[in-house]
Amino acid sequence: MKRLWVLPAFCLLVVSASAQQSKSKAAAGSAKTTATAANGYSIPATITPLKNCWLYMGCYFGKFKNLVDSAWVDGNSNAVFKGKKKLPGGIYFLVSPRKAILFDFLVDEQQHFSIKADTLQPDKAVVTGSPDNDLFQAYSAFLAQKMPHINELQGNLKSAKTAADFAAIRAELQKSGKELNDYRDQVIATRPESMMAVFFQAMKRPEAPPVPTLPNGTKDSLYPLHYVHDHYFDGIDFNDERLLHTPFLDPKVEEYFKYYVVPHPDTLIQEVNYLLLSSRANDDIHRYWLGRFTDKYINPEIMGQDKVFIFLFNQYFSKGDTTWLNPKQREFIFNRAYSMMANQIDEPAPVLDLKDSSNKVTPLYNVKAPFTFVVFWDPTCSHCKVQVPEVDSMYEAKWKKMGVKIYAVNVEDKDDVSPAWKKFIQDNHLNGWVHVYQPKAAHEADNKAGRANFRQLYDVFQTPTMYLLDANKNIIGKKLTLEQFDQVMQAKIKAQKASGAGNAKK
């Protein structure tokens, strides 16, 4: 038997560490593990027409797929997957020698069963000796009967030409959907102890009751949204490791955060922490969600949401309960956190006391303007050669009239003023800017003294890196496009005018 553990190359380091930790724990073993896994697992498989080749077994791991075992297929198409320790419960699959998934099956408490299938008809695979797979196969047969009609209806719905046709098709779709839900509810009611019941419960979507009438006689239009939000995870045990080994739990959580959670950092922090605390009793699930949310918010799609990552770092990573990270992973997480802490939205910008081209110290906080645009750039950087002149075009066309000042930091690590720096400024007519740099000696002195320099304080690991500060030097925008920075300014000006008008009325 050849043992495999494969994670996608793009899998977050934290998730990878969690998987490796689980593997090492299994290898170490314990008296309890030996007692509970005395029989391990044994799954004979006859897969025609495969002969004299490797067959693989995999399982879902959140949004990923892992290979967990392999077995040699002999000349009679027979193979046996076998191990001394029981497999985690969940949805598994067989993978052909060409790495194509053939079909799914369940693994739960009963891990001594057999599989028979033909690669030409994988949907007709037969699992013998597993009550859970009996339910799974019955449900698969039910879906095979119903889904072609549902897919046809969905196609017809898109091409419906009249309102009447649309309504009729929609009604038929709702009827078919109810049949699926009724089937699942029946399994939950009659076989509540089964893994299928657990899965069906996790797949449910809450349906809001009739919208109530408010005291003023109007309908509460937000009631359905609030109801679904409050009941979205009803009946789900986030400590049940079997749910981690399914393809539907991760998308369900993703859907929840996309449609039912306000994308404000403080709200996201509450929701993320709820999920992490709910899964704290199971190490693998807890690490998975910690990894997923770290991956999502360490480089967020929406400005300011990196505050969620800072929360995760302070609440979990920095407290020493993530010892399963290897040194390189730990260094990466800690460095990223320290580089982001000092430049959070609505917080004061870190102090910069850098030198201009005449080696005179020109502090950032001495620049007086309603808005200060800070750009870290390198005259030899190809992206900077394109984007820095674009900044100047925006400045000359619009920002200069608004009183915006540009504080431009050359990130070259030079002992003196760089000729390339001066030439770029002259050639591109970057007039009216405050041009500064940090001499190499000052940089080395910071490092020797353990002081954070501008690279860490402003998270400058690529160029150009840009920030927008308000009149008080609070950060109000970072790492946006020029158009987005301009929109932030316009929104700020509009809000200030509205506030001024309101105060005048008072």
Strands across the sheet containing 53-61: 64-73, 53-61, 90-95, 101-107
4 belongs to a structural domain? no
Segment 12-29 shows an average pLDDT of: 43
Q: 126 forms bridges with which residues in the sheet? A: 116
The strand order across the sheet containing 41-48 reads 78-83, 41-48, 114-118, 126-128
Q: Are residues 367 and 493 in the same domain?
A: yes
The answer to whether residue 3 scores a pLDDT higher than 80 is no
Establish if 168 belongs to a structural domain.
Answer: no
Asked if residue 49 and residue 108 are part of one domain, the reply reads yes
Q: Would you say residue 225 lies in a domain?
A: yes
What's the pLDDT tens digit per position in 124-178? 999 999 999 999 999 999 999 999 999 999 999 888 889 999 999 999 999 999 9
In tens, the pLDDT along 480-501 reads 999 999 999 999 999 988 877 6
Better pLDDT: 485 or 415: 485
Backbone angles phi, psi at 350, to 5 degrees: -60, 150
Q: Which pLDDT belongs to residue 267? A: 97
The total of structural domains in the chain comes to 3
Please state the pTM of the whole predicted model.
Answer: 0.81
pLDDT in tens, 319-331: 876 778 888 988 9
Is pLDDT at 503 greater than 90 in this prediction?
no
282 and 317, same domain (yes or no): yes
Same domain membership, residue 489 and residue 365: yes
Q: Are residues 205 and 309 in the same domain?
A: yes
Instruction: Please tell me the predicted confidence (pLDDT) of residue 502.
Output: 61
Q: The tokens 């047969």 sit on which residue?
A: 141
Query: Would the pLDDT of 6 be above 50?
Result: no
Tokens coding 124: 């007709």
Answer whether residue 15 shows pLDDT above 80.
Answer: no
Q: What is the pLDDT of residue 39?
A: 81
For residues 125 and 43, the answer to whether their CB atoms sit within 8 Å is: no
Q: What is the mean pLDDT of residues 18-34?
A: 41
Instruction: Please spell the DSSP secondary structure of 294-339, one letter per residue.
Output: HHHHHS-SSTTTHHHHHHHHHHTGGGT--TTS-HHHHHHHHHHHHH
pLDDT per residue as tens digits for the range 264-279: 999 999 999 999 999 9
Query: Which of the residue ranges 28-42, 84-98, 233-247, 263-277 would you say has the lowest mean pLDDT?
Result: 28-42
Domain that holds residue 360: 353-498
452 and 360 in a common domain: yes
**Residue 237 forms part of a structural domain:** yes
Task: Answer yes or no: is 210 within a domain.
Answer: yes
Q: Give the CATH number, domain containing residue 366.
A: 3.40.30.10
Environment class of 411 (CB within 10 Å of its CB; exposed 0-12, middle 13-18, buried 19+): buried
Distance CA 31, CA 26 (A): 12
Domain boundary among 312, 341, 370: 341
Q: Is the pLDDT of residue 20 over 70?
A: no
95, 111, 133 — which closes off a domain?
A: 133
Summary mean pLDDT of the chain? 89
Query: What pLDDT was estimated at residue 501?
Result: 62
CA distance 44 to 126: 12
Per-residue pLDDT at 320: 74
Contacts of 94 (CB under 8 A, 6+ apart): 45, 47, 55, 56, 57, 58, 101, 102, 103, 105, 115, 117
Q: Is position 435 within any domain?
A: yes
Residues 363 and 313 in one domain: no
Q: Is 50 exceeded by the pLDDT of residue 7?
A: no
Domain boundary among 341, 371, 397: 341
Whole-number pLDDT of residue 415: 84
At residue 506 the predicted structure's pLDDT band, cuts being 50, 70 and 90, is: low
- How far is it, in rounded angstroms, from Cα 356 to Cα 352? 12
Give yes or no: residues 357 and 336 share one domain. no
Q: What is the pLDDT of residue 64?
A: 93
Q: Is the pLDDT of residue 298 over 70?
A: yes
Kindly state whether residues 369 and 324 are assigned to the same domain: no
Tokens read off for 70: 């392999």
Q: Rounded mean pLDDT of 255-262?
A: 95
φ, ψ dihedrals at 467, nearest 5°: -135, 155
224 and 327 co-located in one domain:
yes
The mean pLDDT value for 99-103 works out to 95
CATH classification of the domain holding 129: 2.60.40.1120
Instruction: Indicate whether 5 belongs to any domain.
Output: no
